[in-house]
Amino acid sequence: MRNKIIRKLLLFSLILVSFGIFYVIYLAIKSNQDPLKQFLFFAPFTLQILSNLVLAIFLNANYSNNSRIELQIAPLLLFSITLENTKVLNLYSLITYQSILKGSIVNRVYFFAILFSAFTFVGFSIYQQEKSYQKSNQYIMISLLFTLFLSFFGPALDNVEFFITFNYYTIIVVSLYLIAILNFIIYIFRGFTLTKLFKEVFLIALTVGNFLLTIVSTNPYNYTGLIFYTIGQIGLLLLLKRKKAQEIFVWDL
């Protein structure tokens, strides 16, 4: 994302979507007879979105044209992960019996977000040492077009919790996450260093955390996912802020 306009547009879109989801969560909690129970139910999604906002603002403020490709891709990943939380619109409908958007539309947007996030995690795992922005941009465009086609022209999802029933959507998403994790593990042993080990472990934690937050809206999965996701984000931020961060994130890792 070397284009300044695109970076600003992504950040603005992320902020807009985030506050829209926050408002829906607020309405769902407010309308329930047990607000504390609903607050605990929605807390993992809320905290994930907040952490994405903080990281997106940090990356935007510290942007450099010399940043590694995965840092260039990061704003797009943060936006798609935040967009995954549009599933709270359907959860709001289940709680209040009122619809903000038609369920089928929410399902398609939700599936687009989780599929594109999965593709982007794979992109992270592939382009860690890649110096060609052209290749990474081509990958993003092909992934985006394929995801749009499958999300909006493929079979409709009956339920936003599509992992409850096993289908080919499940196979695609799970496969992409497994490919990303496998690539992160393999990359550790390419010129092993302790710093690289920590970086890949944090990336794996981020990937696993987001997957668990995505599977179904049940607290055991969601809170476990939030723990992994937070560890991954904090760890990567600490590495990025280290004095030797350039050794990690610039060309010669």
- Residue bearing the bigger pLDDT, 81 or 32: 81
Residues 167 and 132 sit within 8 Å (Cβ to Cβ): no
What is the structure's pLDDT at 131?
61
Q: Residue 29: give its domain's CATH number.
A: 1.20.1070
**Residue 42 predicted with pLDDT over 70:** yes
Q: pTM for the whole thing?
A: 0.86
Domain span holding position 88: 4-249
Structure tokens at 197: 């080990």
**Residue 83 predicted with pLDDT over 50:** yes
Report the chain's mean pLDDT, rounded to a whole number. 82
Question: What is the mean pLDDT of the segment spanning 8-27?
Answer: 91
What is the structure's pLDDT at 250?
42
What is the structure's pLDDT at 249?
45
CA quadruple 237, 187, 80, 248: dihedral, nearest 10? 30
What is the tens place of the pLDDT at every residue in 187-228?
Answer: 888 877 888 899 999 999 999 999 999 877 778 889 999 999
**Residue 156 predicted with pLDDT over 70:** no
CA quadruple 52, 54, 57, 58: dihedral, nearest 10? -110
**Residue 147 predicted with pLDDT over 50:** yes
Q: How many domains does the chain have?
A: 1
- The CA distance from 171 to 154, in Å, is 15
% of the chain with per-residue pLDDT over 70: 83
Question: What is the mean pLDDT of the segment spanning 100-116?
Answer: 83
